[in-house]
Structure 1
Amino acid sequence: MTKKFLFFILLCIGVIILLVFKIGPSFEIGKHNSSNGNQESTTKSLNISNNDLYDLNYSLEAIRLLDALPSDKKDIIKKFKKINPNLSTDNLYNAWLYVNIANLLDIEPKHQRKVVGTVNEVQTSSGCFASNSKEEYSPKNKEQFILPTKMALDVYKSYGKPVPETAFKCLKETASELLNKQGKKSISYGDYLQLIKGVDNKFKNGFYFLSKKQYKKYLNKATQPLLNKQNSIKKLKVIMDIHSKFKNSEVNIDKNAVKEYIYSRQLQNGSFPIYDDKNNNADTLTTFYAVDIMKKKDIKVPKKIKLIKYLKDNVTAKLK
């Protein structure tokens, strides 16, 4: 009986050792992070959904613009550091959201191997980046890869990683094709312009993707169709973004018209609804856009106290 019992104990120990080596350590905040070689104290990780990352990011963006960061910022940072970002679907947007939140909180983003690995996975053969690893690059719709590529470059920069030159080459080719695009122009056409110029200003000399003359040509082609579109928060945001990236830009809109439209879209709690439809629920991205527009146009923010409460409650709820 004693020998059988001893054999059973040894067998159990062997199985446990085998499992440890097979499974390996789990990736949680607070455990040893092999990407930077630092040993950190073990803490319980906080899993957060993709929607929560979205709401947390844009709530903090709006709070920052309103100069209303909570007095318990240290507590927010402490909780955020426990976040284990869900990147299992190779979702570039989630990787960017996680890094951007860290930047908003003025802290260094963690999980370098995991986040940068996600970004590396979604680079296409063209050099541009896709939203996820299942999205295939097509020369027919190059423009849809501009935003993901911009996000990928932001992530690399935040971690101090070199940006692949192939990404810049792809954006340069895309910018040239958009410049020569014929036919009906949409709000997106203007949005692509400000995204490309933003990357150019941030990573190059401001005139790498297009020359000064070419940017002016693109701006002229985008201006009138954009101004002719029916007002929407998205349209106004694109106009403001173009105006902020191009000095002496004539792409502008009357302050009173902006004020009237923005005020008409606001909900009772101070937030703004998705698709500008007051029958819809509040949306943190649309709310951030609205606040950004008002700040850039020097428009008084109505229901400011309620709005700040809505935003802070959002932050608290997402970090429980």
Structure 2
Amino acid sequence: MQPTSAPDYRPLIRQAFAEMEKVVVGQRALVSRLLIGVFTGGHILLEGVPGLAKTLTVSTLAQVLHLHFQRVQFTPDLLPSDLVGTMIYNQNQSVFEVKKGPIFANLVLADEINRSPAKVQSALLEAMQEGQVTIGETTYILDRPFLVLATQNPVEQEGTYPLPEAQVDRFMLKVHVDYLKKADELEVMRRMANLGFKGDVQAVLTKEDIFGIRDQINQVTISDTLEKYLIELVFATRRPADYDLPEFAQAVQFGASPRASIALHRAARAVAYLDGRDYVLPEDIKDVAQDVLNHRILMTYEAEADGVKTQDLIEGILRKVPIS
């Protein structure tokens, strides 16, 4: 796949999957999405009911990638300074000093992000978009790689707040985490029933490896035809009636933003890379279309009341939009 002079990271990536499976059972697709985020610099939003090992998966990933990890439990009384940091007064030296918050890490797990009001959620925006934060009058550059991996419970649950659209759009992928299969849940039960189970994992990738993988993903080619197909998919979310989807014509309030086109392009190349190819296939785009688009489409109130889901629209778009 790569020139002989370039490092072959595929054995390390396979080993990373193997290390993750020592702890996380039946979530290979989720692990793949998390690695796509790490390798492309894209933040990821994980949605699912409690108890599906979302937090465990992210913390284990940080160990496997040997990255500085911080977890923040979002609660209704969390303050922006609890996340970013603040200025504190040093009485001994009679000066103000910066106390950095947990945002200063490589992987930041924003656990149950939608249990805090919008003011706290907005504190993430500068960090997510610019890779920097401002405390007082000073701007601090965050260490690279920097990713926010956020978990949220379904918005129907008590005590949750819908995330602002501007913040949601900054997540490259929104991944729905579902219940395990019976065999996988049986294995989880047997492992966790053992009170001595630790699931120790080894770090197999370094920061330098991650940046090397990013460089190689940038070399994955995507044809002009597939780039135009990708754009048609995004435009179809804005005007579905123009793409032979009249049943959704009145259902969409806002379609996917231009960030969706960028994210779909990056994610498709990452999928191809993880599959051992240096070129993108249509299946790579379709594979990540749901996760890239589902949180960027805002349905009308009437459509939501009628049970129309963004997943149905995206499935219709993938069926109707041709590759030409």
Could you say which TM-score interval applies, normalised by the shorter chain? Answer: under 0.3
The structure that is strand-richer by fraction is: 2
The structure that is helix-richer by fraction is: 1
**TM-score, with structure 2 as normaliser:** 0.24
